[in-house]
Structure 1
Amino acid sequence: MNESRIPVFLNADDQYTVPTYITLYSMLYNHRGDEMLDVYLLTKGDLTEKNIALLNSLAEKFPKLNFEILTVDKNYDQVSINMEHLSCATLYRLMIPRIALSVSDEPIDKCIYIDTDLIVEGDIASLYHCDVEGYYLAGVADGIRLLPYNDDYKNILGIPDVNNYINAGVLLWNLKELNQAEGLRESLEEAGFRNDFPFNDQDALNSVLYGKIKELSPKFNVMPFYFCDREKAEIERLYGRNDVAEARKDPQIVHYINFKKPWIYTTTAFAGRWWKYVRMQDRSIRREYIRPFLDAHRLPRHSVARERCITVMKEIGIYWTARRLKGKVKALRNETGAHTGDLTVTEME
């Protein structure tokens, strides 16, 4: 394997071209090493010529980029995706071990996978050079480990526990060892067809590769709930106080999980970091690509007003106090309703 090159895989469909562009731009902008970045975008072949031109323009801005768009098999098109904000493209990452065998003249022993709803704030090389010897995959712990029903969840996945369960948005693959394991590559792809996995590809990875997954520092996949003060104790229990403090202070990758994307919800934690890269773009790109994308995902007017109100409340430091007060009022109203025989707030909702 050529150590002067870093292979990076992503997957997306045409509707996600702008976030994909911002993800790649942030990664390339912050890459300070001498390594070339060999980036492979996995798609089902639905990208328009206009959007392909946008992505290809990155090579003109960043000479360390070697970019290739790959059309993958459409095997997963009929799989039910259980998260509304995702498409079948999320399953393409399961094909990486097989695809990596044919995209380069030299064997790819190791590679990175990143989602396209994130930004890379540090040098991607720091992730790539993490040691994964003896493991098939490395990633950051997922909050599922904190859920009270994780005993049921381990039964769904068919594994002894979820104590090593990771988020699939940022992955470091040890392709050399994985592809040497007989039948493992095929088992991983087959698991993508299971409709009983609530988190589809993420569950497939954690199920099939159980016991051979290494946990990385949370700074490599900082998710917005890290910054919710009311969850601070739980998050510190999951990652450790020092690692959480480091992730908050110096996040290497910020991953906007779930439906609260920064281009829709401007109050999402670290949304300003995503918008920073939008402001870096040429006026023509903002006009031809980014503005139409934002218009298509714009919130209703009343929701925009609510988002602005939340932003102001957070800036002046009263947001969480107001949330706690609202919770106490709601609890009091429910308690009063129970004594009077009236419908409680919860029942009415």
Structure 2
Amino acid sequence: MLASSSVDLDLPLNDVVIVFACSENFVPYLSVAIQSIVDNAGATRRYDIIVLTRNISPASMITLTRQTKSDNVGIGFLDVDAALGDVELPYHGHFRPETYFRLLAPSLLPNVDKAIYLDSDLIVDVDVAELYDVDVEGYPLAATRDADTIGQIDGYDATVGPYLAYELGMDDPHDYFQAGVLVMNLAELRRTVSAERFLEIATERSWRWNDQDVLNKVVNGHYRRVHMRWNYLVDWQRLRRTHIVTNAPADVRGEYAEACEKPCIVHFAGPDNRPWLYPDADRAGLFWRYAMRSPYLDELRGQLEESRASATGLAKRAQVIVLYRALMPAFDKTCPAGTRRRATLIRGYMKVGGGNL
């Protein structure tokens, strides 16, 4: 059931094309994202979903195909192994190699000129065709500014701005975009940068935010901005809005607040604080509303119960509480954003191999 190119898929690909990248382990969450698309699909549009993968099982493909079976929705699966060859993709933290697969979309979809790319850890709460219809003529892609990263630049983490400017080479780090939701001008990307070049940049070093950095390096601020409603980053650990984004300029804070009030896409970005493990996470109720109609509901419920009842799950919860509800707020209080003390400690932490704060 795995195809090597979109040309081999039995899909019309003549209207709204949506691309995901996913592993077998992430299929239940992908299923919920797909359910949200199907539930909000317009009756007069055609929606074709393409999943980039290298290990989704035939059984999972069958389940997802049955889930999307309707007159105006289809799904297909593309194998990325041939495109990757023997390339070893560097990743770290909560990221996984699949995050790089979006870089291969222009070459894997040679007969498609425009597509939406979506991470699998999100919910689309409106008709996604509205996003697809954004005009990207003259741009490689459309995306939202990354309120979290901009908040880090402007005080929360003083190492981020210099990294984006001097290591990533961005003219203006405040143009950094969040790559979990993209409208990709595949024709323009094919014209300007090859898959080989994308992979060359991706593997030349370990980038802080992996392929998101690669895309920002290539695009360097030349993208069509869309409102953050189309990629609302949830209030991770109830810290993102009050501790990180609050450092950003007024226009970024205002746009993020508007997105929070009326999001079109809710993105559960960040480590640990996922709704399938923490039902009190920001917008977890929305996730479970769509999960109720997913064929993976029982599996999702089982994961939630295990996280709340097993020894491993309880230990993880205790670790999260200590780190994010105690240590990080204490660090923010003793080393306020923008202070020299904070910058010095973060630089020291990074030098000894620490991850992102």
> Normalization by structure 2: what TM-score?
0.75
| Partner secondary structure for residue 191 of structure 1 | helix
Instruction: Determine which of 44, 55, 61 is the counterpart of 2:64.
Output: 55
Alignment partners' CA distance in 1, 2:187 and 2:229 = 25
Alignment partners' CA distance in 2, 1:6 and 1:271 = 27
Paired positions, count: 303
Is the CA contact (8 Å cut-off) linking 2:141 and 2:184 kept in structure 1? Answer: yes
Shift of 1:254: 0.5
Alignment partners' CA distance in 2, 1:303 and 1:201 = 28
Higher relative contact order (Cα pairs below 8 Å, separated by 6+ residues): 2
2:189 corresponds to: 178
1:251-274 CA-to-partner distances (Å, cap 9, x unmatched) read 110001111211112222111111
Q: Which runs of 4+ in 1 moved over 6 A?
A: none
Instruction: Determine which of 230, 236, 248 is the counterpart of 2:242.
Output: 230
**Residue 144 (structure 2) pairs with residue 144 (structure 1):** no
Instruction: Determine which of 210, 215, 222 is the counterpart of 1:200.
Output: 210
| Partner secondary structure for residue 48 of structure 2 | strand
Is the CA contact (8 Å cut-off) linking 2:165 and 2:171 kept in structure 1? Answer: yes
Alignment partners' CA distance in 2, 1:77 and 1:55 = 29
Is the CA contact (8 Å cut-off) linking 2:150 and 2:248 kept in structure 1? Answer: no
Change (3 A) 1:184 1:55: same
Structure 2 unaligned runs (5+)? 1-11, 335-357
What percentage of aligned pairs have identical amino acids? 26
1:343 corresponds to: none
1:40 corresponds to: 50
Is the CA contact (8 Å cut-off) linking 1:119 and 1:255 kept in structure 2? Answer: yes
| Partner secondary structure for residue 116 of structure 2 | strand
Counterpart residue identity of residue 190, structure 2: N
**Residue 90 (structure 2) pairs with residue 87 (structure 1):** no
| Partner secondary structure for residue 258 of structure 2 | helix
Is the CA contact (8 Å cut-off) linking 2:32 and 2:294 kept in structure 1? Answer: no
Shift of 1:34: 1.6
Shift of 1:236: 6.3
Instruction: Determine which of 253, 256, 263 is the counterpart of 1:244.
Output: 256
Change (3 A) 1:301 1:192: same
Shift of 1:239: 2.2
Alignment partners' CA distance in 2, 1:294 and 1:47 = 22
2:127 corresponds to: 123
1:113 corresponds to: 117
Is the CA contact (8 Å cut-off) linking 2:40 and 2:126 kept in structure 1? Answer: yes
Alignment partners' CA distance in 1, 2:18 and 2:170 = 29
Shift of 1:295: 5.4
1:259-296 CA-to-partner distances (Å, cap 9, x unmatched) read 121111222211111111122346xx433x43444456
| Partner secondary structure for residue 254 of structure 1 | strand
Instruction: Determine which of 272, 277, 287 is the counterpart of 2:290.
Output: 277
Aligned CA-pair RMSD: 3.1
Instruction: Determine which of 251, 254, 258 is the counterpart of 2:266.
Output: 254
**Residue 26 (structure 2) pairs with residue 26 (structure 1):** no
1:6 corresponds to: 16
1:103-122 CA-to-partner distances (Å, cap 9, x unmatched) read xxxx4221100000111111
Shift of 1:233: 3.5
Is the CA contact (8 Å cut-off) linking 2:246 and 2:253 kept in structure 1? Answer: no
Matches within 5 A, 1:149-160: 149=159, 150-160=161-171
1:342 corresponds to: none
Alignment partners' CA distance in 2, 1:76 and 1:214 = 34
Alignment partners' CA distance in 2, 1:245 and 1:153 = 25
| Partner secondary structure for residue 168 of structure 1 | strand
Is the CA contact (8 Å cut-off) linking 2:149 and 2:176 kept in structure 1? Answer: yes
Is the CA contact (8 Å cut-off) linking 1:97 and 1:178 kept in structure 2? Answer: yes
Alignment partners' CA distance in 2, 1:176 and 1:245 = 34
Alignment partners' CA distance in 2, 1:194 and 1:76 = 15
**Residue 298 (structure 2) pairs with residue 300 (structure 1):** no
> Normalization by structure 1: what TM-score?
0.77
